[in-house]
Amino acid sequence: MTLAFHRSIEIEKAAADAPVVALESTVLTHGLPRPQNLQLARDMERVVREHGAAPATIAFLDGVLRIGLNETDLTRLANEQDALKVGPRDFATAISGKLCGGTTVAGTMLACKHAGIKVFATGGIGGVHRESNFDISADLQALATIPMIVVCAGAKAILDLPATLEYLETMNVPVVGYGTDEFPAFFSRESGLEVSVRRDSPEAIVEFAATHWRAGLQSAVLVANPVPAEEAIPRSVVEPFIERANREAGERSIHGKAVTPFLLQRINELTGGKSMQANLALLLNNARLAAQIARALQSAARKRLA
Ligand code: PSU
Ligand code: MN
pLDDT above 90 as % of the chain: 91
**Mutation pick for ligand 1 pocket among 23, 25, 26 (CB with most ligand atoms within 8 Å):** 26
Which stretch of 35-39, 94-98, 132-136, 205-209 has the lowest confidence by average pLDDT?
A: 132-136
What is the structure's pLDDT at 187?
95
156 — pLDDT class (breaks 50, 70, 90): confident
What is the structure's pLDDT at 257?
85
Instruction: Give residue 256 CA to ligand 2 midpoint distance, Å.
Output: 5
Mean local confidence (pLDDT), 68-93:
97
130 — pLDDT class (breaks 50, 70, 90): confident
The CA distance from 53 to 71, in Å, is 17
Instruction: Give residue 230 CA to ligand 2 midpoint distance, Å.
Output: 30
For residue 70, which of 81, 83, 61 has the smallest C-alpha distance? 61
Per-chain residues with Cβ under 5 A from ion ligand 2: 135
Tell me the per-residue pLDDT of 23-68, one tens digit each, with 9 for 90 and over.
999 999 999 999 999 999 999 999 999 999 999 999 999 999 999 9
The CA distance from 240 to 236, in Å, is 7
DSSP for 25-91? SHIIIIIS-TTHHHHHHHHHHHHHHHTT-EEEEEEEETTEEEES--HHHHHHHHH-TT-EEE-GGGH
Tell me the per-residue pLDDT of 186-227, one tens digit each, with 9 for 90 and over.
999 999 999 999 999 999 999 999 999 999 999 999 999 999
Residues 28/45, Cβ–Cβ less than 8 Å? no
6 — pLDDT class (breaks 50, 70, 90): very high
For residue 2, which of 115, 158, 121 has the smallest C-alpha distance? 115
The CA distance from 211 to 207, in Å, is 6
For residue 130, which of 252, 214, 245 has the smallest C-alpha distance? 245
The CA distance from 129 to 269, in Å, is 21
What is the structure's pLDDT at 260?
87
pLDDT value at 244 more than 80: yes
**Please, is 212 exposed, middle or buried when counting C-beta atoms within 10 Å of its C-beta (0-12, 13-18, 19+)?**
buried
Average per-residue pLDDT for the chain? 96
**Please, is 300 exposed, middle or buried when counting C-beta atoms within 10 Å of its C-beta (0-12, 13-18, 19+)?**
middle
What is the torsional sign of CA 107, 109, 111, 113? negative
What is the structure's pLDDT at 65?
98
pLDDT value at 1 more than 80: no
State the pTM of this model.
0.96
Strand 54-61 with 20-23, pairing? parallel
pLDDT value at 132 more than 80: no
Q: Which of 24, 45, 85, 274 is catalytic?
A: 24
What domains lie within the chain, and their CATH numbers?
A: 6-305 (3.40.1790.10)
